[in-house]
């Protein structure tokens, strides 16, 4: 017992754990308190994540395994943690050290006030997409009984948020991936939103949306060029679905052209089109939409000052 006490008192939680498999981590001396757990996670992932990201991840992981929020973590920082919590934490650390995104490791992502399930079948919701949704809400918050279609819905973050906030008569979420739709369906059930999910390929399949029935068509389609892969972080490139990310270098507007084309069929007169875009292609996208007869064209920037959103509308009837 005396030997154990001496080892425990001399253990340095700021020391990096040995690299290797999960068994190596489990052979390290046990952490005892909540604050020790947080320090241990931060140190273990320091070779991959710099500050302040490492600390943010450490708090998120600790909160997840303990089932408490950031405030409770601070208030309970001297509470003892169980062996089961330690074992679970080591498993999550091992996944983080494989560059797996935190959201996949925890199985959740936050979007507006929603806590959504995410898996490798869906793209992790980005802050830029929150900006797009905020713009849609701001411009349509006083319109009644909206009919909305979200193309490439993924986790359902756009469709579910709009259904939660706006006065919607009907919301559709479309995706080509069955596994993605399973995730979005589960998220919608969690928030009690009766969204109609559609599995379809917009280039080939007949879509069960009535002609001239939509007020809003929104999409965050694949827009990262294949030649941009070397610039991307390893945790994105190795883990997020390429189907939702990449577009051929020689046809950067592939999805936008098709969505604009079907939009003319599905949108009501005056119906609005909302896109998240690759900042390199705002001008050619605007020209393409003009050529298809869209009006009220505008480009807006994200919080980083990059051209990120394009809006357009069909002409109203005269």
Give 3-state DSSP helix, strand, coil % of the chain, rounded to 5. Answer: 45, 20, 35
Both tokens of 249, joined, read 């270098």
Chunk the chain into consecutive blocks of 10 residues (it has 318) and report each block's average pLDDT, rounded to whole numbers.
42 45 48 89 94 95 94 93 94 96 97 96 96 97 97 98 97 97 98 96 90 97 92 89 91 96 96 97 97 96 96 87
Residue 29's pLDDT is: 52
The residue among 263, 315, 274, 281 whose CA lies nearest residue 298 is 274
Torsion of CA 109, 193, 241, 282, to 10 degrees: -90
Return the domain boundaries, the chain. Answer: 2-98, 122-313
Question: For residue 160, what are its two tokens?
Answer: 């579910």
| End-to-end Cα separation, the chain, in angstroms | 89
pLDDT (0 to 100) of residue 271 = 97
Nearest by Cα to 123 from 242, 253, 274, 263: 242
Tally Cβ neighbours within 10 Å of residue 312: 24
CA atoms of 98 and 118, how far apart (whole Å): 18
Instruction: Please state, as a whole number, how many other Cβ atoms lie within 10 Å of the Cβ of residue 50.
Output: 10
CA–CA gap between residue 178 and residue 195 (Å, rounded): 16
Domain 122-313 class in CATH: alpha beta
User: Torsions phi, psi of 34, nearest 5?
Assistant: -55, -45
For residue 156, the model assigns a pLDDT of: 98
CA-based radius of gyration for the chain? 23
Which regions of 44-177 does DSSP assign to beta strands (E)?
108-111, 114-117, 146-151, 168-175
Q: Please give the backbone phi and psi of residue 83, each rounded to the nearest 5 degrees, phi first.
A: -60, -40
Please state the separation of Cα 119 from the chain's center in Å: 10
């Amino acid at each position: 017992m005396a030997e154990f006490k001496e080892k425990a008192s001399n253990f340095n939680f700021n020391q990096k754990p040995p690299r290797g498999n999960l068994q190596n981590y489990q052979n390290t001396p046990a952490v005892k308190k909540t604050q020790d757990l947080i320090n241990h996670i931060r140190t273990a992932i320091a070779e991959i994540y710099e500050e302040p990201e490492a600390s943010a991840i450490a708090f998120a992981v600790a909160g997840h395994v303990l089932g408490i929020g950031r405030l409770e973590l601070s208030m309970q920082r001297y509470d003892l943690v169980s062996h089961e919590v330690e074992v679970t934490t080591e498993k999550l650390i091992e996944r983080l050290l494989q560059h797996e995104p935190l959201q996949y490791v925890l199985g959740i992502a936050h979007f507006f006030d929603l806590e959504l399930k995410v898996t490798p079948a869906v793209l992790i919701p980005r802050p830029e997409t929150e900006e797009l949704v905020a713009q849609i809400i701001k411009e349509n918050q006083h319109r009644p009984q909206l009919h909305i279609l979200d193309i490439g819905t993924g986790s359902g973050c756009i469709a579910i948020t709009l259904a939660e906030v706006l006065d919607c008569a009907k919301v559709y979420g479309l995706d080509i991936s069955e596994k993605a739709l399973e995730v979005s369906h589960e998220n919608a059930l969690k928030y009690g939103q009766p969204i109609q999910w559609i599995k379809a390929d917009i280039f080939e399949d007949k879509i069960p949306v009535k002609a001239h029935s939509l007020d809003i068509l929104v999409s965050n389609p694949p827009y990262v060029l294949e030649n941009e892969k070397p610039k991307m972080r390893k945790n994105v490139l190795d883990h997020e679905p390429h189907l939702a990310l990449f577009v051929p270098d020689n046809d950067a507007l592939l999805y936008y052209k098709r969505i604009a084309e079907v939009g003319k069929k599905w949108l009501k007169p005056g119906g609005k089109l909302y896109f998240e875009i690759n900042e390199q292609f705002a001008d050619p996208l605007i020209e393409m939409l003009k050529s298809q007869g869209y009006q009220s064209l505008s480009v807006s920037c994200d919080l980083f000052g990059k051209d990120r959103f394009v809006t357009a509308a069909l002409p109203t009837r005269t």
